[in-house]
A and B are shown apart, each in its own frame.
Chain A
């Protein structure tokens, strides 16, 4: 009798503490973002109060973000193009490289993995100067490729190392069995490894996309007008009405506007990406 009682209490305590865990997690992640939203909702002139609710909610800052002068919608489109092309290319290249490095036998893999990792060890600004010169020579200033190509190379080390970690854990027996059944290496990979590693591939895709979406240093130097500027560059160009005024509310509103589509895209695409990866697979 008392046994079932204690186990019931224990089960209740477990689910209660789990609920607390979820709540803590959500508050931790969203509280600063909430403050960002509230700050964006305050009137641009009402900047010095700590009211937790925007007492006089004003959409002025959000309107300012999308006002013609800022060309923010264009910037959103540019970001989608740059981050989208970057992610697609980096994932195709990264998946094939990671596959080769984990599932195929050839010498020099450790050296190659190390070289790839070393590519994300140099301070960005040191890469900027020679790259700017190169792109200026190529006539790439103010083009998408001047952002996409560096973004791909920034994304590849992360993508390859993450994918490598996931691919390596996949059971060899399955792949061998598929090959015995007459599948070529590509089919074995497509039908066995990719579906099993889907969570890893999906997460990598998201991380790469966000990294490309948020790249600023290169973009701010190579994209000089609204036709190519991504969101990060557009936000940095928000100004107040004079040199020293910092348009804090508008910047916060822009931060919200730059973040929300990203999260919605992930929500919408997560099922699709996972389905795509596991389609025809085993899971």
Chain B
């Protein structure tokens, strides 16, 4: 009996220990050997799901010309958090399940610094928006090639507002119209999540400040940053921004605007397509206006969104992967992205195309927004910074800390993270 027990416990331990001993050799996060993966052959391409099915057509186009270098499309979950989980697991393990992956613009530095991505300096980026190329560059090297981009708009009601405001003061004045019509005035994305970091950065940039300047210094305890946050805090206090906007992500704001409960809305271009769609449950179907974001003394600056393309270090067919990325950046594919998938392209010439401008009414506004757009901080610890920002800003919007307290605390916290990494 005694020996049975010992044996039983021993077997468990042996099994557990044996497995650990067998596998812990390949130390965690060991950078996968990348140099030998420069070959050609079939690859996979992973990005969030595409409901239109048009992306598969684009990939089929490639496969028809490259029968020996076939691309398999892997659709990741809809939520960005979950796409990130899948990619991190695979990159960390060096498993190479995903050869080419669509990366949110803010992930580039985080992933590149951990040596998970292949440098893409030999990819030709001429003709692409400079800001998008910059968003894929880390430490002077391109690690993620621009794929599609995004910028925020100020949506307004053309039936109630004649000329859209270009400054915050004008916006606040125009709120009288909202009061007269018994609707709310302005909203963006103010729930505590990545969207709040975007909205806060926009406010700071639109007041002439920055979150982290070009020298990598944290600059949120400045008069400009304070002016930016003050605009949002004042909005909540005066009721210009409705109290419920503290729960808004993109969709809540869109619903309020489409229901006719909101005069102005900061949101991405996707709202235009949905609000004007035929048969849409939208009171603003014919009265939706688009303008660049207003700022402190003149037009503001949007935060840059979008996705870039990167190659995993564990990929075995990196040459094919690079060629495929070049294909996705070709004018032909970029045009399809815009017309069939409603994704803003990164090739700037397309924005001047008269045929496209006729098809996509917001194209000109988007171009000027993109030209002024500011990228979020490029940091090895971006997520950590962003969490700190959204947490602290959220408290300021709720009124539980003052603007000064929030920003001086944030300055310290961000500096700590920047110093540590």
Q: Among the listed B74, B79, B255, B273, which residue makes an inter-chain contact with A242, where contact means beta carbons less than 8 Å apart?
A: B273
Q: Is A233 an interface residue (CB 8 A)?
A: yes
Chain A contacts with B in 226-267, Cβ cutoff 8 A? 233, 236-246, 248
Which residue of B46, B51, B95 is within 8 Å of A136 (Cβ)? B95
Q: Is the CB of A132 within 8 A of B93?
A: yes
* Other-chain residue from A108, A137, A233 in contact with B77 (beta carbon distance below 8 A): A233
Q: Which residues of A contact B255 (CB under 8 A)?
A: 47-48
Nearest-neighbor residue (CB-CB) of A229 within chain B? B75
**Closest CB-CB distance, A247 to chain B, in whole Å?**
8
Please indicate the chain A residues that have their CB under 8 angstroms from the CB of B23 in the complex: 130, 133-134, 137
- Is the CB–CB distance between A224 and B74 below 8 Å? yes
Segment 75-111 of A: residues with Cβ below 8 Å from B: 106-108, 111
B64 at the interface (CB under 8 A from A): no
Binds A, one of B1-9, B132-140, B396-404: B1-9
Determine which of A107, A132, A246 lies in contact with B95 in the assembled complex, contact meaning CB atoms within 8 Å.
A132
B362 within 8 A of A: no
Known: A106-B1, A107-B5. Is A236-B250 also a contact (CB below 8 A)?
A: no
A163 to B78, CA, bound (A): 39
When distances are taken between beta carbons in the complex, the residues of chain A under 8 Å from B68 are: none
Q: How far is the CB of A117 from chain B (nearest CB, A)?
A: 14
Interface residues, chain A, with chain B CB atoms under 8 Å away: 43, 45-48, 69, 106-108, 111-112, 115, 128-130, 132-134, 136-137, 141, 220-221, 224-225, 233, 236-246, 248
Judge whether B86 and A220 touch: CB under 8 Å.
Answer: yes
**Do A239 and B51 contact each other (CB < 8 Å), given the known contacts A43-B281, A115-B12, A225-B74?**
yes
Choose one: A129, A132, A225, A245; the contact of B251 (CB below 8 Å): A245
Contact B90 A236 (CB under 8 A): no
Interface assignment of B67: CB less than 8 Å from any CB of chain A: no
- A100 smallest CB distance to B (angstroms): 11
| B259 closest partner in A (C-beta) | A48
Establish whether residues B8 and A108, one from each chain, have CB atoms under 8 Å apart when the complex forms. yes
Number of contact residues on B: which range applies?
35 or more
Chain B residues 82 to 104 lying within 8 A of chain A, measured CB to CB, are: 82, 85-86, 89-90, 92-93, 95, 97
**Nearest-CB distance from A249 to chain B (Å)?**
11
Q: Is the CB of B89 within 8 A of A239?
A: no
Known contacts A134-B23, A244-B268; A141 and B77 CB within 8 A of each other: no
A133 touches B95 (CB 8 A): yes
Name the contact of B281 in the complex, choosing from A45, A106, A112, A240 (C-beta under 8 A): A45
Are B97 and A141 in contact, with the CB atoms below 8 A? yes
* CB contact between B5 and one of A108, A129, A132, A224 (< 8 Å): that residue: A108
B18 within 8 A of A: no
Q: Which of A47, A132, A233, A244 contacts B89 (CB 8 A)?
A: A132
Chain B residue, CB-CB nearest to A139:
B95
Given A221-B86, A239-B51, A246-B251, 19 other A-B contacts at CB below 8 A?
A46-B281, A47-B281, A48-B281, A108-B5, A111-B9, A132-B95, A136-B97, A221-B89, A237-B49, A237-B78, A238-B78, A239-B50, A239-B78, A240-B274, A241-B273, A242-B342, A242-B343, A244-B254, A246-B78
